[in-house]
Amino acid sequence: MVNFDGRYEYPPCGGNTLYCYNPGGTYLGRTTELGSYAPNGRGLYDMHGNVWEWCQDWTSASLPGGSVTDPQGAASGSMRVQRGGCWHSLGRRCRSAHRTGYYPDSVLSNNGFRIVLAPGQP
């Protein structure tokens, strides 16, 4: 369950690899309150869709290949990484592996961030 533009579902369908158009898909056209959908397997809410999440990484032209845990972007740059899609994204963008970049001084209704405190930390 994800808040995204449900008219453009996750592909593939037919020959289309960008989206599957579904005119009857759910599209709220706005953000939703945190916890409106069930948590993922780790107990985290709204990791995909709703708002793009700002990341610490700067965008880069390429990332390491192969099996990599938490690949890091460039050490500096002009745009920060965003992940997870938002309320008006296509379904294929609503996943943690989808990375895009945006200027950090941007204020938009589809950008947000997550504060995470590791277990056992004060």
Q: What is the CATH number for 40? A: 3.90.1580.10
- pLDDT (tens digit per residue) in 8-39: 998 888 888 899 999 999 999 999 998 899 99
In a domain, 68, yes or no: no
In a domain, 29, yes or no: yes
What's the mean per-residue pLDDT of the chain? 87
In a domain, 87, yes or no: yes
Give the DSSP letter string of 7-52: TEESS-BTTBSS-EE-TTS---SS---TTSS---TTS----SBSSE
Q: Which range, 26-30, 56-60, 114-118, is most confident?
A: 26-30
In a domain, 2, yes or no: yes
pTM to 2 decimal places: 0.80
In a domain, 108, yes or no: yes
From 93, 100, 87, 82, select the one nearest 5 (Cα to Cα). 87
In a domain, 66, yes or no: no
Total domains present in the chain: 1
Identify the domain containing residue 43 by its residue range: 1-60+75-122
